[in-house]
Amino acid sequence: MAVANATTMSPKRTVEFDEPAALTAHELEGQVLSGARITCAALEAEGTDVVFGYPGGAVIPLYDALPSANLHHVLVRFEQWAALAADAYSRATGRVGVCIATSGPGATNLVTGLANAQLDSVPMVAITGQVSQPMIGRDAFQETDITGITLPVTKHNYLVQSPEEIAPTIKEAFYLAKSGRPGPVLVDIPKNVFIESARFRYPAVTDRRGYQPSFLPNIRQVRLAAELINKAKKPVIMAGHGISIARAEELFARFVERTGIPVMFTLLGQGTFPESHPLSLGLMGMHGHREVNKALEESDLLVNIGARFDDRATGKISGFAPKAKIVHVDIDPAEIGKNVKTDVPVVGDAKEALKLLMPEVEQRQHEDWLAWIRGEADHALRTALEQRPEWPEAYTIIKAIAKATNGEAIYTTDVGQHQMWAAQHLGLDHPNRWLTSGGLGTMGYGLPSAIGAKIGRPDLEVWAIVGDGGFQMSFSELATAVQENLDINIAVINNGYLGMVRQWQDLFHHKNYSEVKILGPDFVKLAEAFGVTGIRVLRDEEIVPAIEKARSIKGPVLIEFVIEPEANVWPIVPPGASNGDMLLSRFDDR
């Protein structure tokens, strides 16, 4: 193993791990410490108190130092879930999530989690061990070029060259992760660098040459946007994740109420404004509500705040908001005009943009426009059209979970039909409590993200709503939930299929169900094997008692909800079609 390579370090620079236990980063300032201890102290200096990780040869020195640091380490069962738990921790708390993996396979297992955070703009720092410096480039045991591999899926990454570099690198990594458009940053540290020592000095500031993220929008652009807002007759707001990233929800609510503009949400924009508010329209795009997509077609002004015009939200670009002028508020100038032609770009932080917009916009109401939109709602759109009555319907289950938890829990999901049913029916009123993989669409996200969220927000109830397919990717994390004694509930929506793929095969590939029938384990027995309470629900009348039982039990509980195998999510915008061409049901043959 690469462990032997540790002997290549210079002996005179090595320190024994006899450093004082659990001193704070502040107290360690100026002391000579191992690179491993410096790494921990730097994390502490950034306010980190939890790390999600998995040990291995190249990071053994780091794990040696962990017990004497003020860091709670959560031992996951697979590194990908460490990255996704850190991602969810970050989304739920607004702090930077941290994950750790060893070199080689440990580091490569982080890749999907990094890509997930990159696409959803989640601040995260990943620390990976690397083989000792003299072994780099020799195909050493468990050597991978992780900085090369992760270059396209990180905001930035580093290969640290000396223990002196660790503290400034970690300082900069946190700064990059959370400033501007947030994202994941990876810090790769060779094993000998963990073992060698240096004087610990944590820099007060960091100054990365050439990195000047936008923050304050240009007031002229703000005024142009306000002009359009003040004269629009049929305006809509497209609310995106950028509002929660800027923690701008309060100001956003005041802006909406002042301008009287109805709000539609991207998948990740949900929760940025209460869905129960009269000005809230709900989800837009591929599985958006009918009236929302109709409003898009009809609107004369679309104000996008903090979203990136993702194709699942826009549908076919040429049919997207065809009559509307477009205002786009985004912190990343690269997003302006990338997918949708923008009339007025406002480049900056969503909160700062709203602060500047507020005094420029008039108090207005759009009653006729709102009445028109409401008139487009199709209350008949129900999967009920296709349901056999003996099976519980997924949306009944989702609504029951929302009701039992008073809409106040953190809800996480996997990816697929259950995710869309949850997005449509949870009725999300609170910010940063809807944790779902938007851009990457990472199956398996539900359970590890529930773990990350619960650790970050132990004060909140946490529900993972997962598919039987996605859950089979990450159920090993039940062991982590038990080891951490986490009070989380897991709702497995079991249709016996890779449901969303089956739905596409059903609707767009002549019902050619190729490789989507998925057998699962006995989920109740599986739960029990992990020491988790398992409940199975087969009938409507069992739904509420099962949810209440799960809520009353401390520790993880799994409920398997068996649903109609071939239920579809409606409406759906066919791939490549305009939002206005959504199908409302199987019988909608437009």
From the number of C-beta atoms within 10 Å of its C-beta (0-12, 13-18, 19+), residue 260 rates as: middle
Q: Which of 191, 418, 425, 536 binds ligand TPP (CB under 6 A)?
A: 418
d(CA 264, CA 279): 9
> For residue 182, what are its two tokens?
């947030």
Nearest to 360 by CA among 372, 346, 370: 346
Residue 416 binds to ligand TPP (criterion: CB under 6 A): yes
Q: Which of 58, 307, 501, 583 binds ligand TPP (CB under 6 A)?
A: 501
Binding range to ligand TPP, per CB under 6 A, among 31-39, 210-218, 412-420, 449-457: 412-420
CB 40 within 8 A of CB 71: yes
235/469 with CB nearer ligand TPP: 469
Shortest Å, Cβ 469 to ligand TPP: 3
106/470 with CB nearer ligand TPP: 470
246/498 with CB nearer ligand TPP: 498
294/425 with CB nearer ligand TPP: 425
Residue 398 C-alpha from the chain's centroid: 20
324/501 with CB nearer ligand TPP: 501
Residue 500 binds to ligand TPP (criterion: CB under 6 A): yes
Binding range to ligand TPP, per CB under 6 A, among 30-38, 168-176, 298-306, 409-417: 409-417
Catalytic residue among 141, 227, 257, 297: 141
3-class secondary structure for 52-76? EECCCHHHHHHHHHHHHCCCEEEEC
Residue 495 binds to ligand TPP (criterion: CB under 6 A): yes
Shortest Å, Cβ 307 to ligand TPP: 20
141 is catalytic: yes
Residue 417 binds to ligand TPP (criterion: CB under 6 A): yes
Residue 178 binds to ligand TPP (criterion: CB under 6 A): no
Nearest to 192 by CA among 454, 4, 6, 37: 6
259/474 with CB nearer ligand TPP: 474
From the number of C-beta atoms within 10 Å of its C-beta (0-12, 13-18, 19+), residue 189 rates as: buried
Binding range to ligand TPP, per CB under 6 A, among 6-14, 225-233, 329-337, 499-507: 499-507
Residue 240 binds to ligand TPP (criterion: CB under 6 A): no
CB 502 within 8 A of CB 563: no
Q: Which of 80, 102, 442, 585 binds ligand TPP (CB under 6 A)?
A: 442
Residue 555 binds to ligand TPP (criterion: CB under 6 A): no
Q: How far is CA 88 from CA 59, 245, 307, 448, 504, in A?
A: 24, 13, 19, 8, 28
Q: Which of 183, 470, 556, 571 binds ligand TPP (CB under 6 A)?
A: 470
Residue 441 binds to ligand TPP (criterion: CB under 6 A): yes
Q: Which of 499, 534, 556, 571 binds ligand TPP (CB under 6 A)?
A: 499
517 is catalytic: no
Catalytic residue among 80, 118, 142, 503: 142
Catalytic residue among 135, 420, 500, 582: 500
Exposed e or buried b for every residue in 283-313, given b needs 16+ CB within 10 A? bbbbbbbbbbbbbbbbbbbbbbbbbbbbebb
Binding range to ligand TPP, per CB under 6 A, among 41-49, 117-125, 161-169, 492-500: 492-500
191 is catalytic: yes
245/492 with CB nearer ligand TPP: 492
221/424 with CB nearer ligand TPP: 424
DSSP string, 302-370: EEEES----HHHHBSGGGSSTT-EEEEEES-GGGTTTSS--SEEEES-HHHHHHHHGGGSPP---HHHH
d(CA 255, CA 183): 27
Binding range to ligand TPP, per CB under 6 A, among 44-52, 266-274, 305-313, 494-502: 494-502
150/442 with CB nearer ligand TPP: 442
DSSP state of 77: S
From the number of C-beta atoms within 10 Å of its C-beta (0-12, 13-18, 19+), residue 47 rates as: exposed
The site that binds ligand TPP (CB under 6 A) totals a number of residues, namely 19
CB 456 within 8 A of CB 412: no
CB 54 within 8 A of CB 82: yes
DSSP state of 202: -
Shortest Å, Cβ 518 to ligand TPP: 7
Binding range to ligand TPP, per CB under 6 A, among 167-175, 295-303, 327-335, 468-476: 468-476
Catalytic residue among 155, 171, 178, 191: 191
Shortest Å, Cβ 84 to ligand TPP: 11
Residue 583 binds to ligand TPP (criterion: CB under 6 A): no
Residue 468 binds to ligand TPP (criterion: CB under 6 A): yes
165/310 with CB nearer ligand TPP: 310
500 is catalytic: yes
Exposed e or buried b for every residue in 23-36, given b needs 16+ CB within 10 A? bebeebeebebbbb
Contacts of 467 (CB under 8 A, 6+ apart): 414, 415, 416, 417, 418, 419, 443, 446, 492, 493, 495, 498, 499
Residue 443 binds to ligand TPP (criterion: CB under 6 A): yes
CB 376 within 8 A of CB 234: no
Residue 412 binds to ligand TPP (criterion: CB under 6 A): no
Residue 414 binds to ligand TPP (criterion: CB under 6 A): yes
372/513 with CB nearer ligand TPP: 513
Q: Which of 106, 467, 534, 571 binds ligand TPP (CB under 6 A)?
A: 467
CB 300 within 8 A of CB 325: yes
Residue 415 binds to ligand TPP (criterion: CB under 6 A): yes
Shortest Å, Cβ 444 to ligand TPP: 6
142 is catalytic: yes
3-class secondary structure for 455-481? HHCCCCCEEEEEEHHHHHHHHHHHHHH
> For residue 585, what are its two tokens?
């049901």
Residue 280 binds to ligand TPP (criterion: CB under 6 A): no
d(CA 130, CA 151): 16
CB 546 within 8 A of CB 559: yes
Q: What are phi and psi of 320, to 5 degrees?
A: -85, 120
- What residues act catalytically? 79, 141-142, 191, 500
Binding site for ligand TPP (CB under 6 A): 414-418, 441-443, 467-470, 493, 495, 497-501
